[in-house]
Amino acid sequence: MTSWEQQQKAFTNFLRLERGLADNSIFAYQRDVQKLKDYCAPRSIDPVNVSLEHLKHFLTDLYDLGIGARSQARIISGIKQFFEFMMLEGEREDDPSELLELPRIGQKLPVFLTIEEIDKLIAAIDLSKPEGHRNKAILETLYSCGLRVSELINLRFSNLFLKEGFVRIIGKGDKERLVPVSPSVEKEIDFYVQGTRNHMNVQKGHEDFIFLNRRGKQLTRVMIFTIVKDLASAIGLQKSISPHTFRHSFATHLIEGGANLRAVQEMLGHESITTTEIYTHLDSAYIREAIISYHPRNKKG
């Protein structure tokens, strides 16, 4: 049986020696294949037995984790190169990714929550439980600051400047940005820190992380997804949401409220304003829906 480790090592050597790729490009391919391995290995699927169905389920898993269409397309591109290499080396006779459809880019507007839905989700948190105020602080921070889930779990006390009303975020590519902090976020973080967190046995090396699990260690991405999914289920929310939905909601509500597009771009940490512009389209769709629903000329009967 061909192991993932063997194929990954051979693929890396091929990229470096045969194709002469730069280290950054090699690392990108390695990261794509590692994502597939992380999905397949726990299911006892080795690289020579990966099927098209496995890859379809893998893509569904990426979507559930909040990975967007562009990132999915890039990951698929890397995986296709991996299977082409395996065929070249005679490890496989077929390419399971050949018929894998790329996700449509720019076709689907992101799901967002209404203010009422966000209020319901937060109200559903059981504050009598030890993790209650932590979870409330997490949701308030996701929504009020528009953070990515990776930015949230890596949030540190050394990045908080509450007196100045800002938090420093280390985003993609280690780029820093300052995001305003609302009084509600400041209040909920303070409740959590002064209550549950100050009475925890914080593990060495995790002292500066704000949000911790019950064992005193930094929270994982999966845990944040679980918190959000459980609350959505608790209120019977029909929308399929993830932590990233709060980021979409943050941007959408700002645009609806008349915020400057450049300011929203800065707060989200988007490198290109074209990425931020999707929220103007979403706002247009929202306005159209409101007109169709409420304009007297559009009412039946």
- Asked if 247 is an active-site residue, the reply is yes
Is 281 annotated as catalytic? no
37 CB contacts (<8 Å, ≥6 apart)?
4, 8, 47
Q: Residue 208's closest CA among 170, 164, 246?
A: 170
How far apart are alpha carbons 48 and 227 in whole angstroms?
Answer: 36
Which of 109, 147, 175 has its CA nearest to residue 244?
147
270 catalytic, yes or no? Answer: yes
Query: For this structure, is 206 an active site residue?
Result: no
Q: Is 74 a catalytic residue?
A: no
Contact of 60 with 17, CB cutoff 8 Å: no
133 is catalytic: no
Q: Under 8 Å CB-to-CB from 279, ≥6 apart: which residues?
A: 248, 251, 252, 254, 255, 264
The residue written with tokens 């280290």 in the block is 23
Per the residue annotation, which of 80, 136, 148, 248 is the catalytic one? 148
Among 197, 247, 248, 253, which one carries the catalytic annotation?
Answer: 247
Of 172, 214, 215, 281, the active-site residue reads 172
Catalytic pick among 80, 136, 248, 270: 270
d(CA 197, CA 21): 47
Q: Considering 197, 244, 248, 253, which one is annotated as catalytic? A: 244
CA dist 129 and 148 (Å) reads 26
Catalytic positions, written as ranges: 148, 172, 244, 247, 270, 279
